Each structure stands twice: as C-alpha cells, then as structure tokens.
Structure 1
Amino acid sequence: MKRAFIFPGQGSQSVGMGKALAETFPQAKAVFDEVDEALSQKLSAIMWEGPADELTLTANTQPALMAVSLAMVRVLEAEAGLDLGRDAAFVAGHSLGEYSALAAAGSLTIADTARLLRIRGNAMQEAVPVGQGAMAALLGLEYDAALEVARAAAQGEVCDAANDNGGAQVVVSGHKSAVERAVAIAQEKGAKRAVMLAVSAPFHCALMQPAADAMREALARVTVHAPVVPVVANVEAAPIGDPDAIRDALVRQVTGTVRWRESVAYMASQGVEAFYEVGSGKVLTGLVKRIAAGASATALGAPDDVTAFKASLQG
C-alpha cells in the first residue's frame, strides 16, 4: 500500500499540544528541547501551558506546530520502525506544514526549521499593518468560481485565492475592503457560506511580498538537502527534490496559493491509498476525505496513535 504523510498548518494549534508525547517518549521531549534551544525561548512552556493568545501569535504558532509534528515523526521512527524513505511515497504540508514535511524528509534540520519559521512568522505578521488586511472562507464554491469572485472583488486592490482546500472550500486573502466585497459577491454567486476569518494577517497573497523577500534571504543562509522522499510542494501541487527548487518553492509559497486540493489529488492519482496527518489536530484528515474518495486518512498526534500505526505498518 502506498502511503503519504501530511503535516498541518496554522489553525491546528491548541494549548497542551505535544505535552503527552513529551511525557511519554524521550524522543519527543528531545525535539521540544531542540526547538527551545534553537529559538532561545521556552516555546514548549507556551505550547503546554498557554496563554492561548501567546500561542496563537504567528511567530510562535508556526515553529510550535512544526515541533509537534517532528516530535511525532521521531516517536514513530523509534517506536514503530517508521522509515520515511522506505514507507512513504510522498510527504506534503499545508502552508507552514511544508517546512515540517521537509524537516521530516531530511531536507532541513529541526533547528534550522524552527528558526526559519520564526523568521517567517514575524515577517508575515509585519508585512501588512494590522487592520489593513483580511481573509475570508468561501464555502460551497469550487475553485474556479471562487477565483472569479476574487477577481471581481479586487477593484484595484489585492484579493487573491490563498488556499484551495478542496471540498468547495476556498480562502481568499488581501486588502480588508476587497475581501469584504468578496464575501458579498460570493453570497450573490450562491456560496453556502462566506465568512471573514479571525486571522492576524492576510496570508498567501501579493501583500505578503515583503515576507517573501525576507524568506529568500533566510533560506539562502541555510543548508537544504535533497529529501529522502518526494515532497509535494504547495505552489506546484507536484513533487520537488532539488534543493534550489525547494528554496524557490518556499519563497513563492508566501505569496502564492496553497494548492492543497490538487496536491492531495496528485498523490491519490499516483496510487496513495493511506494518508497520515502527523502532528496537532485533524484538519487535513477531514480535507483528504473530501478530496480523495476511497483513500483512508488518519491523524497521528497522541501517544495512543503510535501503537495503532505500528500495527498498520506491519499489516
């Protein structure tokens, strides 16, 4: 059976995430310690004890979610015998989750990934003054229809398709007034729901260009290895493996659309039957079930999940 391992993005965080893993498995504790050291911050304390508003700061959320995902990967390697190079056909991640996927596949060290995500989080937050940008979810419109809504709403401002999540769920991002127009137009076009999202910045749109520039500089300073398993990139919805191509994709990802629907569909078209969401939450598990009919999707985030996964790997 072909498997893919997928890694969650922003929105999957919750206070307490990863704590049980750290208390149960020394391999997980070591990852959280490594991230704390790389950032010169006790990020693990914020993850496990809160406060929630501090965890949801973009600069904290991004490395924190990566830490949980990589802690789980290390536990699966130690306890279940997981070898991504052998056991995975592909890895992929949603937005910041792409960094987790690359770290899991050996392209980036955990310490470098934590530092990159800290830079990314700060740069994305600072790219647009608070209050000027917004994001909205358009539910019940397919991607092409949502794209038309975004174009109609722009009216000289920025309104881009940020996330094509599948299951007729598209997120638009840009200037606040343009995104508000998109919500109204989407409702006129028959969207089931169109709602503004409680986000701190307009991610994955042209307004993020300053953050893309910051990531180009940051990525030039780190070593990127070829991954041990093909990484399906958000902006390509196809696998990449060359280190320069990886850097380029990560830079373009900041302003580009997260092509999640196409990424999952691609992996399914290549014979992937089982998707495993590694880390906090079950958001991607739900999306996969709507995109890849007939494929299984399982979330791996808690100590109890390790035993079940080990049985499935051996079976």
Structure 2
Amino acid sequence: MSARKTALVVAPGRGTYGKGELGSIARLHGARFADLIADFDAQRRARGQPTVSELDGADRFSVATHMRGDVAAPLIYTATVLDYLSIDREKFDVVAVAGNSMGWYSALALGGAVSVADGFRIANAMGLNSQTHGPGGQILLQVVDETWRPVPGLREQLLGLAAAITARPDHALALSIDLAGMLVFAGNEAGLAALLAEAPPIPGRDPLRLAGHGPFHTPLMFGSSDKAKAELAPALFGAPAIPMVDGRGHIWRRFASDPAAVWDYSFGHQILAPYDFARSVQVAVKEYAPDVLILPGPGDTLGGAIAQALIGIEWQGIASKADFAARQATDPILLAMGRAEQRAVVTGNQ
C-alpha cells in the first residue's frame, strides 16, 4: 500500500450552499451520520428554529431563506464537518486546517479546538449573531486578469480608494476579506455607494454586492462580537488536536495554544478585523507543504480563491490559471469534495 498523502483541509464560508446543494446533506450523509444530524436538528429545535433536515429537505431553494445568516451558517457547517469526517484517513493524513471567514468556525471543530456538537452550537449562534450589526454590507471586486495574474496596481488603487472614502464624514469602508484574486470590501451604505461610484474599471466582472451579507470583519460588527462573547463561553474551547491557521496567517499549534486566546480571537479579531484568507492558505502550505489541499463541501466555489492564493506565491511552479489547470489534469493539488470525481478520491469510493 502506498504512503498516505498529507493534506491541508480548507473549510468554506458563506455563499457556498446554493441551489445545487439543496438536499446534499441528506443524500451524501443521511445514512452514515444520522445521529450527528439528529443532534444538530435537536439544537435547532430547542431554539425554535427550522431544523437542518427541514431546510436541506425543502422542495425548492429560496434565496430569501437559505442565504440568510441564521440558515446558511448551520447548513454550511453541517455539510463541511460531515465531509471532513468522510475523508479516507487511510489515504490522507490531515496536517492542518484553515477556513474562509465563517469557515473559521468550522475549522475550530475540524482542528479539535471544540467538539463537533459545540462547533455546530457556535456556527448556529454566529449565524444569528452575524445579523447583529450596523447598516451596511459587502462588495466583491476582482483584481486579477483572465490568467489569474494580478492586474498591476489595481489592488493598491482599491485599498487607497477605500482609505480615502472612509476618511469622509459618515462614510465607513474597509477591506473585509482578501481572497487573493478578489477583494471583499465592507462598510456602511454611504461607503459602499461611494466605492461603486468611484471604483476603477476591473477585469472579468462588475463589482458585486453580496446578497444578505453584513459589513463582516469590520468594527461595524461590534454587536455581533459582544453578543458572541456573552453567549459562547470560553469553556467550550480546548487545545487543538491539529494545527489551525487563522485569518491573520497565525498558526494555533498543538500543545502551544491557549484555549482562552483562541476564544478571544474567534469572537473578537475574527469578527472585527479583515480576514486574510490568501495569507492563511499561503502560510499553511509553506509551513506544512501538503501533498494536496482538500476543500470540503458545500459546493466548490472557494476553489478559485485557493488556486489564486497558490498562484500568488507560485507554489510548486503554479504561476497562472493555465498552470493550475495543467496540474489539476495530471496530478491534482486541489481536491474539491463538491465535485463528484474528486470527492470519490477523497472518500476512497472510486
């Protein structure tokens, strides 16, 4: 038998459970993980919320319902953690975990800093808490060309524009998430309107206002942070069993991480300051040199951002979209469990 491949697991965040994922939790996991799903359902039922099973089993996907924070977060967490538990550990040795934005709460459970049940409790609470904020939202802008190489000067131009806008009276705007090839800015309505009006031409797509998203990862989320710290006690947290790379690129290591500090980061800095997803991936691959990166479901939309993060440091000679596609065709470095053929590799069901 060949040696196991080392793997970095990257948990997805908001916006990944869409129309195509409706029913996937029951279809992929209903038989094997019925007890866990029942526990998650019981947690929701105790709070007077529709259960994961009811939401996943809806007749049709509703943007108004399924994209709302208090619904999206538990669905995404459930799909992610059950995919993680489905990884064939005879084939893959998970050496570290990371996550994008809300995916950090999934990463806490994947890394063993909290239990799977408490991870759901946190994700579910944060889905509600994420709606506790000042007025505003998020806008996504692309900063790479069609080859996924940076457009010279565009990133700096946008960051400078954001700084100028937020200096104006009654305007708030800041970087929210760095996705390598895309930047997410968050702010109040005045700040967002100014960004849309004054942003320079960007490649590929027009600036996109993210539906149902608040001004995440900015000080406008102070209500969410305060509520999280009041509701979710430090006692839920322990030391991680697997290294976790957070949204600063900081590594929470086994035997060297204070659970109280993980708690404070998760409900403080993680909510109120920018989330550098690109750096988290880049630090993780440099530190642990995984053979592959595994992207659990739902969906596979984070795959482009992961690839662009690798391109940003020319990881293993991958310097463009064409390089990444060629590598995927011959010796895949990214295995997205939202894709049936790659899922079969990860779960050992080929």
Q: Report the TM range for the smaller structure's normalisation.
A: 0.7 to 0.9
Q: Whole-Å Cα distance in 2 between the matches of residues 118 and 133 of structure 1?
A: 22
What CA deviation, in whole Å up to 9, does each residue of 1:80-108 have, x standing for no partner?
A: 23698xx1221011111111111122211
Shift of 1:305: 4.8
What CA deviation, in whole Å up to 9, does each residue of 1:122-162 have, x standing for no partner?
A: 2221322xxx3121112226544332121112213221111
Q: What's the TM-score, normalizing by structure 2?
A: 0.78
- Residues 234, 260 of structure 2: 8 Å contact kept: no
- Residues 133, 215 of structure 2: 8 Å contact kept: no
Q: Which residue of 2 aligns with 1:19?
A: 26
- Of 163, 167, 175 in structure 2, the residue corresponding to residue 161 of structure 1 is 175
Q: What's the TM-score, normalizing by structure 1?
A: 0.86
Shift of 1:311: 5.2
The gaps in structure 1 that reach 5 residues or longer are: none
Helix, strand or coil for the counterpart of 2:101? coil
Q: Whole-Å Cα distance in 1 between the matches of residues 281 and 234 of structure 2?
A: 31
- Residues 335, 342 of structure 2: 8 Å contact kept: no
Q: Whole-Å Cα distance in 2 between the matches of residues 272 and 222 of structure 1?
A: 32
Q: Which residue of 2 aligns with 1:98?
A: 104
Residues 145 and 90 (structure 1), Cα distance of their counterparts in 2 relative to 1, 3 Å cut: farther
Residues 36 and 302 (structure 1), Cα distance of their counterparts in 2 relative to 1, 3 Å cut: farther
Task: Indicate whether 1:48 and 2:88 are aligned.
Answer: no
Q: Whole-Å Cα distance in 1 between the matches of residues 188 and 343 of structure 2?
A: 43
Q: Whole-Å Cα distance in 2 between the matches of residues 152 and 308 of structure 1?
A: 48
Task: Indicate whether 1:34 and 2:42 are aligned.
Answer: no
What CA deviation, in whole Å up to 9, does each residue of 1:210-266 have, x standing for no partner?
A: 1111122233254211111110011x2121142122112212111111101111111
The gaps in structure 2 that reach 5 residues or longer are: 144-150, 312-317, 319-323, 325-332
Q: Whole-Å Cα distance in 2 between the matches of residues 93 and 34 of structure 1?
A: 23
- Residues 19, 48 of structure 1: 8 Å contact kept: yes
Q: Which amino acid aligns with 1:213?
A: D
- Residues 38, 111 of structure 1: 8 Å contact kept: no
Helix, strand or coil for the counterpart of 1:18? helix
Shift of 1:195: 3.0
Q: Whole-Å Cα distance in 1 between the matches of residues 113 and 234 of structure 2?
A: 14
Q: Which amino acid aligns with 1:61?
A: A
- Residues 209, 255 of structure 1: 8 Å contact kept: yes
Task: Indicate whether 1:233 and 2:242 are aligned.
Answer: no
Percentage identity across aligned positions? 21
- Residues 143, 164 of structure 1: 8 Å contact kept: no
Shift of 1:7: 0.6
- Residues 95, 258 of structure 1: 8 Å contact kept: yes
Q: Which residue of 2 aligns with 1:65?
A: 76
Task: Indicate whether 1:223 and 2:236 are aligned.
Answer: yes
Q: Supply the RMSD in Å over aligned alpha carbons.
A: 2.4
What CA deviation, in whole Å up to 9, does each residue of 1:152-173 have, x standing for no partner?
A: 1221322111110011x10110
Q: Which residue of 1 aligns with 2:147?
A: none
Q: Whole-Å Cα distance in 1 between the matches of residues 290 and 341 of structure 2?
A: 24
Q: Which residue of 2 aligns with 1:149?
A: 161
1 or 2, which has the higher helix percentage?
1
Q: Which residue of 1 aligns with 2:282?
A: 265
- Residues 66, 100 of structure 1: 8 Å contact kept: yes
Q: Give the number of equivalent residue pairs.
A: 299
What CA deviation, in whole Å up to 9, does each residue of 1:16-65 have, x standing for no partner?
A: 23221124x413x3322221112224222112325523222201111110
